[in-house]
Structure 1
Amino acid sequence: MAFSADELRVLRRALAIALNPTAPVADDEQQDCLRLADSVDDAIHEAGRLRSFLLADLARYRDALPGSAPGYTELLQDALAAGYDPRPEDLAALRALRGTPTGAVLLRRCQALAEQSVRARLAARTATRTAVRVPTTPAPRTRLLALPGGRAADEPKKPSDPPPAKPPIPLRPAPKPSDVFPPKRRPVPPPQQLAAG
């Protein structure tokens, strides 16, 4: 994308405004910046549309191989110049065309570009994984204190030992298991009546 001298002046003023947002901006300068932004958006949209058209045309020529070999190689060269990453279909098509001088040269170029693309993706994944892994240190261990009773009550106390922590006193006594689960009583059989006879 190339800018005219007038557009470069507007772009320079827009950058100055971005660097110093508190500076006053005249209405005509603001309108110039908006028009330039619209022009850039239109150019980006048009470039995307042309790229889509080029890729669709490339796919049509690839599907018509081997009869369309000259047109396909020319379109592929244009696409590669525009930053196109060759796909597996392109590599397969070029393997079929490697008997021609142009096909052999393009195959080597596309294989190198595909290898670079794969390496870049792997490096990005590795960088993402290592960035996610943040080394963590384990939390410091808390010191365990002995409660009164148990084996510690039988041992003599050392003068350097801190006093044992006192457990909180419950507000009501803990229930006994027999309070929670009363024993089951066996049903008393009804008295038997003897028949007189």
Structure 2
Amino acid sequence: MAFSADELRVVRRALAEVLHPSRSVAAPAVSRPAEYVQDYLRLVEAVDEAVHEAGRLRTFFLDELRRYRDALPGSSVGYMERLGTALAGGYVPAPADLAALRQLRSLPCAAPEHLRRTALLRHCETLAENDVRLRLEAPMPAPRRLLALLPNTPAAAADEPEQKPKGNPPQKPETEPAPQDPGRRTPTPAELWPPHRRTPAPGKPDQARSA
């Protein structure tokens, strides 16, 4: 909204009276209050009218943007122009806009037009993500909001669910053999497997006689 010279004079005078009441401009004691009140009322009416007109224009532009979006892909040029104008005015792209831009980006077109559609899609995705992040962080207190943005903090770690360790589960230790009875003696290998005694071979008869 652009103020006229008279409106700027009224705004300047109102600010001067609010900030410095003792330095207000001298005026006739009788006509001054009524004149100032009338100026302030006219300024308020002008501001309200400008706000209402801006709201009507915004509604008209959004309706026109919706009509061009419904007529895609034939109205791609007009839709992208109106979407860029709406974004410059503070419009947050809706999910329907993101879907429409993704559809336009997938259609065959020249390389410059493809780059233009890609850049507009990335810009809209960034705006949509920032809007969602701000809405989620709005009910959070300021310290909590800052901690949520920093990774590897105790607050962030507390919010994450406890993860179970991956891999095979730990195996149970093998059972130890039961201790043997101390009263029983362990047999030796010689007792288990006694040595085999070789029988002497019978001598020849001639050797027996000579002996």
Q: Distance in 2 between matches of 1:38 and 1:116?
A: 35
Match of 1:163? none
Match of 1:27? 34
The equivalent position to 1:119 in structure 2, one of 116, 133, 137, is 133
Q: Distance in 1 between matches of 2:66 and 2:122?
A: 20
**What pairs with 1:1-197 in structure 2 (closer than 5 Å)?**
1-19=1-19, 26-99=33-106, 100-127=114-141
Q: Distance in 2 between matches of 1:69 and 1:61?
A: 8
Q: What SS class does the counterpart of residue 79 from structure 2 fall into?
A: helix
Please tell me the residue identity of whatever aligns with 1:102.
R
Question: 1:3-52 CA deviation, whole Å, 9 max, x = no partner?
Answer: 22321110122233445789885211211111111000000000000000
| Larger relative helix fraction | 2
TM-score, with structure 2 as normaliser: 0.56
Contact 1:69 1:97 in 2 (8 A): yes
Q: Distance in 2 between matches of 1:121 and 1:39?
A: 33
Structure with higher Rg: it is 2
Q: Distance in 2 between matches of 1:127 and 1:56?
A: 37
Question: 1:124-157 CA deviation, whole Å, 9 max, x = no partner?
Answer: 02239x7xxxxxxxxxxxxxxxxxxxxxxxxxxx
Question: 1:79-120 CA deviation, whole Å, 9 max, x = no partner?
Answer: 000000000000000001125332211101000111111111
Please tell me the residue identity of whatever aligns with 1:5.
A
Q: Distance in 1 between matches of 2:133 and 2:77?
A: 30
Q: What SS class does the counterpart of residue 65 from structure 1 fall into?
A: coil
Q: Distance in 1 between matches of 2:136 and 2:18?
A: 36
How many residue pairs are counted as aligned between the two chains? 131
Q: Distance in 2 between matches of 1:71 and 1:42?
A: 30
Q: Distance in 1 between matches of 2:79 and 2:116?
A: 11
CA-atom RMSD in angstroms: 2.4
Q: Distance in 1 between matches of 2:115 and 2:12?
A: 48
Q: What SS class does the counterpart of residue 26 from structure 1 fall into?
A: helix
Q: Distance in 1 between matches of 2:72 and 2:141?
A: 40
Q: Distance in 2 between matches of 1:127 and 1:16?
A: 37
Q: Distance in 2 between matches of 1:94 and 1:50?
A: 24
Please tell me the residue identity of whatever aligns with 2:129.
E
